[in-house]
A and B are shown apart, each in its own frame.
Chain A
Protein backbone atom coordinates (compact mmCIF):
# COMPACT_ATOMS: atom_id res chain seq x y z
CA UNK A 1 0.00 0.00 0.00
CA UNK A 2 0.94 3.63 -0.04
CA UNK A 3 4.26 4.26 1.61
CA UNK A 4 5.02 7.85 0.80
CA UNK A 5 3.07 11.05 0.51
CA UNK A 6 3.74 14.71 0.12
CA UNK A 7 3.91 16.09 3.66
CA UNK A 8 3.06 19.57 2.40
CA UNK A 9 -0.23 18.31 1.07
CA UNK A 10 -0.74 16.26 4.16
CA UNK A 11 -0.36 18.98 6.74
CA UNK A 12 -3.64 20.50 7.84
CA UNK A 13 -2.17 23.88 8.51
CA UNK A 14 -5.12 25.81 9.82
CA UNK A 15 -7.73 23.28 10.80
CA UNK A 16 -5.71 21.30 13.29
CA UNK A 17 -5.77 22.08 16.94
CA UNK A 18 -2.97 19.63 17.64
CA UNK A 19 -0.32 21.30 15.49
CA UNK A 20 3.22 21.18 16.73
CA UNK A 21 5.18 18.17 17.83
CA UNK A 22 4.35 18.62 21.50
CA UNK A 23 0.64 18.97 20.80
CA UNK A 24 0.70 15.83 18.68
CA UNK A 25 2.52 13.83 21.34
CA UNK A 26 -0.04 14.88 23.90
CA UNK A 27 -2.89 13.96 21.61
CA UNK A 28 -1.40 10.53 20.87
CA UNK A 29 -0.97 9.89 24.58
CA UNK A 30 -4.62 10.76 25.19
CA UNK A 31 -5.73 8.56 22.27
CA UNK A 32 -3.76 5.63 23.63
CA UNK A 33 -5.38 6.20 27.02
CA UNK A 34 -8.75 5.81 25.30
CA UNK A 35 -9.94 9.33 26.07
CA UNK A 36 -13.16 9.89 24.12
CA UNK A 37 -12.58 13.62 23.76
CA UNK A 38 -9.20 12.97 22.15
CA UNK A 39 -10.81 10.86 19.43
CA UNK A 40 -13.31 13.60 18.68
CA UNK A 41 -10.49 16.16 18.63
CA UNK A 42 -8.55 14.04 16.17
CA UNK A 43 -11.54 13.72 13.85
CA UNK A 44 -12.47 17.40 14.03
CA UNK A 45 -8.86 18.54 13.60
CA UNK A 46 -7.96 16.41 10.61
CA UNK A 47 -11.29 15.25 9.16
CA UNK A 48 -11.84 18.21 6.86
CA UNK A 49 -8.48 17.89 5.19
CA UNK A 50 -8.80 14.11 4.87
CA UNK A 51 -12.23 14.54 3.30
CA UNK A 52 -10.72 16.87 0.73
CA UNK A 53 -8.09 14.25 -0.11
CA UNK A 54 -10.72 11.51 -0.42
CA UNK A 55 -12.86 13.71 -2.67
CA UNK A 56 -9.98 13.99 -5.13
CA UNK A 57 -10.02 10.23 -5.61
CA UNK A 58 -13.74 9.56 -5.19
CA UNK A 59 -16.23 11.72 -7.01
CA UNK A 60 -19.26 10.42 -5.12
CA UNK A 61 -19.55 12.28 -1.81
CA UNK A 62 -20.85 9.21 0.01
CA UNK A 63 -17.83 7.21 -1.13
CA UNK A 64 -15.45 9.95 0.02
CA UNK A 65 -17.08 10.07 3.45
CA UNK A 66 -16.97 6.28 3.69
CA UNK A 67 -13.25 6.37 2.89
CA UNK A 68 -12.63 8.97 5.60
CA UNK A 69 -14.59 6.89 8.11
CA UNK A 70 -12.67 3.75 7.14
CA UNK A 71 -9.42 5.69 7.45
CA UNK A 72 -10.17 6.93 10.95
CA UNK A 73 -11.27 3.49 12.11
CA UNK A 74 -8.01 2.07 10.75
CA UNK A 75 -6.07 4.83 12.48
CA UNK A 76 -7.86 4.23 15.80
CA UNK A 77 -6.96 0.55 15.64
CA UNK A 78 -3.35 1.31 14.77
CA UNK A 79 -2.72 4.19 17.16
CA UNK A 80 -0.60 1.99 19.41
CA UNK A 81 1.66 1.31 16.45
CA UNK A 82 2.05 4.98 15.48
CA UNK A 83 5.75 5.52 16.06
CA UNK A 84 5.83 9.28 16.01
CA UNK A 85 8.64 9.55 13.49
CA UNK A 86 6.23 11.27 11.12
CA UNK A 87 3.51 13.82 11.75
CA UNK A 88 0.03 12.54 12.57
CA UNK A 89 -1.20 14.51 9.57
CA UNK A 90 1.20 12.68 7.24
CA UNK A 91 0.29 9.32 8.78
CA UNK A 92 -3.45 10.01 8.42
CA UNK A 93 -2.94 11.29 4.89
CA UNK A 94 -1.38 8.00 3.83
CA UNK A 95 -4.15 6.04 5.49
CA UNK A 96 -6.94 7.99 3.77
CA UNK A 97 -5.27 7.68 0.37
CA UNK A 98 -5.10 3.92 0.89
CA UNK A 99 -8.73 3.86 2.05
CA UNK A 100 -9.75 5.85 -1.04
CA UNK A 101 -7.90 3.48 -3.34
CA UNK A 102 -9.54 0.49 -1.65
CA UNK A 103 -12.92 2.16 -2.10
CA UNK A 104 -12.19 2.72 -5.77
CA UNK A 105 -11.25 -0.92 -6.21
CA UNK A 106 -14.25 -2.22 -4.30
CA UNK A 107 -16.79 -0.34 -6.37
CA UNK A 108 -18.37 -2.28 -9.15
CA UNK A 109 -16.35 -1.49 -12.19
CA UNK A 110 -18.25 0.46 -14.80
CA UNK A 111 -17.05 1.08 -18.33
CA UNK A 112 -14.97 4.23 -18.24
CA UNK A 113 -15.51 7.22 -20.45
CA UNK A 114 -13.01 7.08 -23.28
CA UNK A 115 -10.08 9.44 -22.95
CA UNK A 116 -9.30 9.27 -26.67
CA UNK A 117 -11.25 12.38 -27.60
CA UNK A 118 -9.14 14.40 -25.17
CA UNK A 119 -5.83 13.32 -26.68
CA UNK A 120 -4.14 15.32 -29.46
CA UNK A 121 -5.12 14.38 -33.01
CA UNK A 122 -2.65 14.14 -35.85
CA UNK A 123 -2.74 14.25 -39.62
CA UNK A 124 -1.41 11.37 -41.71
CA UNK A 125 1.93 13.15 -42.05
CA UNK A 126 2.35 13.36 -38.26
CA UNK A 127 1.56 17.07 -37.86
CA UNK A 128 -0.93 18.26 -35.25
CA UNK A 129 -4.47 18.37 -36.64
CA UNK A 130 -5.12 21.32 -34.33
CA UNK A 131 -1.72 22.98 -33.78
CA UNK A 132 -1.26 23.99 -30.15
CA UNK A 133 -0.64 27.61 -29.28
CA UNK A 134 1.06 29.11 -26.26
CA UNK A 135 -0.78 30.20 -23.13
CA UNK A 136 0.36 33.73 -22.51
CA UNK A 137 0.09 33.64 -18.75
CA UNK A 138 2.44 31.84 -16.44
CA UNK A 139 0.94 29.15 -14.24
CA UNK A 140 1.54 31.33 -11.19
CA UNK A 141 -0.32 34.26 -12.71
CA UNK A 142 -3.22 32.09 -13.91
CA UNK A 143 -3.57 30.54 -10.45
CA UNK A 144 -4.36 33.93 -8.98
CA UNK A 145 -7.77 33.71 -10.61
CA UNK A 146 -10.39 31.73 -8.71
CA UNK A 147 -12.09 30.83 -12.00
CA UNK A 148 -8.89 29.20 -13.26
CA UNK A 149 -8.42 27.21 -10.07
CA UNK A 150 -12.02 25.99 -10.26
CA UNK A 151 -11.69 25.14 -13.94
CA UNK A 152 -8.57 23.04 -13.29
CA UNK A 153 -10.23 21.22 -10.40
CA UNK A 154 -13.29 20.49 -12.52
CA UNK A 155 -11.06 19.23 -15.31
CA UNK A 156 -9.25 16.83 -12.95
CA UNK A 157 -12.63 15.56 -11.76
CA UNK A 158 -13.66 14.89 -15.36
CA UNK A 159 -10.77 12.51 -16.02
CA UNK A 160 -11.74 8.83 -16.11
CA UNK A 161 -10.99 7.10 -12.77
CA UNK A 162 -7.99 5.07 -13.89
CA UNK A 163 -6.28 8.15 -15.33
CA UNK A 164 -7.25 10.56 -12.55
CA UNK A 165 -5.95 8.12 -9.95
CA UNK A 166 -2.54 7.88 -11.59
CA UNK A 167 -2.36 11.64 -12.00
CA UNK A 168 -3.17 12.15 -8.33
CA UNK A 169 -0.68 9.57 -7.10
CA UNK A 170 2.19 10.76 -9.31
CA UNK A 171 1.70 14.51 -9.61
CA UNK A 172 -0.11 15.32 -6.38
CA UNK A 173 0.85 12.65 -3.85
CA UNK A 174 4.41 12.56 -5.12
CA UNK A 175 4.77 8.81 -5.60
CA UNK A 176 7.32 7.67 -8.16
CA UNK A 177 6.35 5.35 -10.98
CA UNK A 178 7.33 2.18 -9.16
CA UNK A 179 5.41 3.15 -6.02
CA UNK A 180 2.29 4.07 -8.00
CA UNK A 181 2.53 0.79 -9.92
CA UNK A 182 2.74 -1.16 -6.66
CA UNK A 183 -0.21 0.66 -5.11
CA UNK A 184 -2.36 0.22 -8.20
CA UNK A 185 -1.12 -3.29 -8.93
CA UNK A 186 -0.31 -2.48 -12.54
CA UNK A 187 2.94 -2.38 -14.49
CA UNK A 188 5.27 0.61 -14.38
CA UNK A 189 4.71 1.05 -18.10
CA UNK A 190 0.95 1.24 -17.57
CA UNK A 191 1.49 3.99 -14.99
CA UNK A 192 3.62 5.98 -17.42
CA UNK A 193 1.10 5.64 -20.24
CA UNK A 194 -1.83 6.62 -18.03
CA UNK A 195 0.04 9.55 -16.51
CA UNK A 196 0.98 10.94 -19.92
CA UNK A 197 -2.55 10.55 -21.25
CA UNK A 198 -4.04 12.05 -18.09
CA UNK A 199 -1.80 15.11 -18.40
CA UNK A 200 -2.59 15.41 -22.11
CA UNK A 201 -6.32 15.16 -21.41
CA UNK A 202 -6.11 17.68 -18.59
CA UNK A 203 -4.24 20.05 -20.87
CA UNK A 204 -6.96 19.69 -23.49
CA UNK A 205 -9.73 20.29 -20.96
CA UNK A 206 -8.27 23.60 -19.77
CA UNK A 207 -6.79 24.74 -23.09
CA UNK A 208 -9.70 26.95 -24.18
CA UNK A 209 -9.85 28.64 -20.80
CA UNK A 210 -6.11 29.21 -20.67
CA UNK A 211 -6.06 30.67 -24.18
CA UNK A 212 -8.65 33.28 -23.25
CA UNK A 213 -7.43 36.78 -22.64
CA UNK A 214 -7.13 36.61 -18.89
CA UNK A 215 -5.84 40.12 -18.41
Chain B
Protein backbone atom coordinates (compact mmCIF):
# COMPACT_ATOMS: atom_id res chain seq x y z
CA UNK B 1 0.00 0.00 0.00
CA UNK B 2 1.27 3.49 -0.86
CA UNK B 3 0.79 6.69 1.14
CA UNK B 4 -1.71 7.83 -1.48
CA UNK B 5 -3.77 4.67 -1.11
CA UNK B 6 -3.64 4.97 2.66
CA UNK B 7 -4.94 8.53 2.49
CA UNK B 8 -7.72 7.39 0.15
CA UNK B 9 -8.73 4.53 2.46
CA UNK B 10 -8.51 6.56 5.67
CA UNK B 11 -12.23 7.21 6.15
CA UNK B 12 -13.18 3.60 5.49
CA UNK B 13 -10.45 2.45 7.89
CA UNK B 14 -11.69 4.74 10.66
CA UNK B 15 -15.29 3.68 10.01
CA UNK B 16 -14.28 0.01 10.20
CA UNK B 17 -15.35 -0.56 6.62
CA UNK B 18 -12.03 -1.66 5.17
CA UNK B 19 -12.00 -5.36 4.20
CA UNK B 20 -9.54 -7.50 6.15
CA UNK B 21 -6.74 -7.79 3.54
CA UNK B 22 -6.70 -4.03 2.93
CA UNK B 23 -7.02 -3.35 6.63
CA UNK B 24 -3.92 -5.42 7.33
CA UNK B 25 -1.97 -3.66 4.57
CA UNK B 26 -3.15 -0.36 5.97
CA UNK B 27 -1.94 -1.21 9.48
CA UNK B 28 1.40 -2.53 8.20
CA UNK B 29 2.05 0.62 6.18
CA UNK B 30 0.99 2.83 9.08
CA UNK B 31 3.43 1.13 11.45
CA UNK B 32 6.35 1.82 9.13
CA UNK B 33 5.51 5.27 7.75
CA UNK B 34 5.79 8.31 10.08
CA UNK B 35 4.20 10.74 7.57
CA UNK B 36 1.13 8.51 7.25
CA UNK B 37 0.94 8.11 11.02
CA UNK B 38 1.11 11.90 11.32
CA UNK B 39 -1.57 12.24 8.65
CA UNK B 40 -3.89 9.87 10.51
CA UNK B 41 -3.47 11.54 13.90
CA UNK B 42 -3.79 15.08 12.54
CA UNK B 43 -6.88 14.00 10.56
CA UNK B 44 -8.44 12.68 13.76
CA UNK B 45 -7.51 15.86 15.64
CA UNK B 46 -9.09 17.89 12.84
CA UNK B 47 -12.41 16.08 13.29
CA UNK B 48 -12.28 16.65 17.03
CA UNK B 49 -11.40 20.32 16.64
CA UNK B 50 -14.27 20.87 14.20
CA UNK B 51 -16.76 19.17 16.49
CA UNK B 52 -15.55 21.06 19.54
CA UNK B 53 -15.58 24.58 18.10
CA UNK B 54 -19.14 24.14 16.88
CA UNK B 55 -20.20 23.12 20.38
CA UNK B 56 -18.06 25.79 22.01
CA UNK B 57 -20.21 27.83 24.38
CA UNK B 58 -17.70 30.68 24.12
CA UNK B 59 -17.97 30.71 20.37
CA UNK B 60 -19.46 33.53 18.31
CA UNK B 61 -22.96 32.63 19.43
CA UNK B 62 -25.12 35.62 20.20
CA UNK B 63 -26.47 35.63 23.71
CA UNK B 64 -29.71 36.91 22.33
CA UNK B 65 -31.26 37.19 18.94
CA UNK B 66 -31.11 40.60 17.20
CA UNK B 67 -34.21 42.68 17.96
CA UNK B 68 -34.90 43.33 14.30
CA UNK B 69 -35.03 39.59 13.66
CA UNK B 70 -37.39 39.04 16.59
CA UNK B 71 -39.65 41.76 15.24
CA UNK B 72 -39.51 40.31 11.71
CA UNK B 73 -40.43 36.84 12.99
CA UNK B 74 -43.32 38.09 15.11
CA UNK B 75 -44.55 40.27 12.23
CA UNK B 76 -44.42 37.27 9.90
CA UNK B 77 -46.47 35.30 12.45
CA UNK B 78 -49.10 38.02 12.41
CA UNK B 79 -49.30 37.87 8.62
CA UNK B 80 -49.40 34.08 8.49
| Chain A residues whose C-beta falls within 8 Å of the C-beta of B20 in the assembled complex | none
Q: Number of residue pairs across A and B with beta carbons under 8 Å?
A: 159
- Known contacts A69-B76, A128-B39: does B65 contact A43 (CB below 8 Å)? yes
Are A69 and B49 within 8 A (Cβ)? Answer: no
- Known contacts A47-B65, A195-B11: does B42 contact A132 (CB below 8 Å)? yes
| Contact of A44 with B by CB under 8 A | yes
Q: What number of B residues sit within 8 Å (CB to CB) of A?
A: 47
| Contact of B21 with A by CB under 8 A | no
The A-contacting residues of B in range 6-58, CB under 8 angstroms, are 7, 10-12, 34-39, 41-43, 45-58
- Known contacts A172-B54, A207-B42: does B63 contact A47 (CB below 8 Å)? no
Are B46 and A202 within 8 A (Cβ)? Answer: yes
| Chain A residues whose C-beta falls within 8 Å of the C-beta of B70 in the assembled complex | 40, 43-44, 47
User: What does the 1/0 interface line of A44-65 toward B look like (CB < 8 Å)?
Assistant: 1001111110001000000001
| Contact of A15 with B by CB under 8 A | yes
| Contact of A115 with B by CB under 8 A | no
Which residue among B11, B43, B46, B55 has the maximum number of chain A CB atoms within 10 Å of its CB? B46
Are A203 and B7 within 8 A (Cβ)? Answer: no
Interface of B is mostly: helix
- Known contacts A52-B60, A196-B10: does B38 contact A153 (CB below 8 Å)? no
Are A76 and B77 within 8 A (Cβ)? Answer: yes
| Chain A residues whose C-beta falls within 8 Å of the C-beta of B2 in the assembled complex | 122, 125-127
- Known contacts A120-B7, A195-B11: does B54 contact A56 (CB below 8 Å)? yes
Q: What number of A residues sit within 8 Å (CB to CB) of B?
A: 59
Cα A131 to Cα B36 with chains together (Å): 8
Cα A163 to Cα B34 with chains together (Å): 28
8 residue pairs, one from A and one from B, having the closest CB atoms: A126-B2, A47-B65, A131-B35, A196-B11, A52-B61, A139-B48, A203-B46, A122-B4
Give the A-binding residues of B (Cβ under 8 A). Answer: 2-5, 7, 10-12, 34-39, 41-43, 45-66, 69-70, 72-74, 76-77, 80
Give the B-binding residues of A (Cβ under 8 A). Answer: 8-9, 13-15, 36, 39-40, 43-44, 47-52, 56, 65, 68-69, 72-73, 76-77, 120, 122, 125-128, 131-135, 138-139, 142-143, 146, 148-149, 152-153, 156, 167-168, 171-172, 192, 195-196, 199-200, 202-203, 206-207, 210
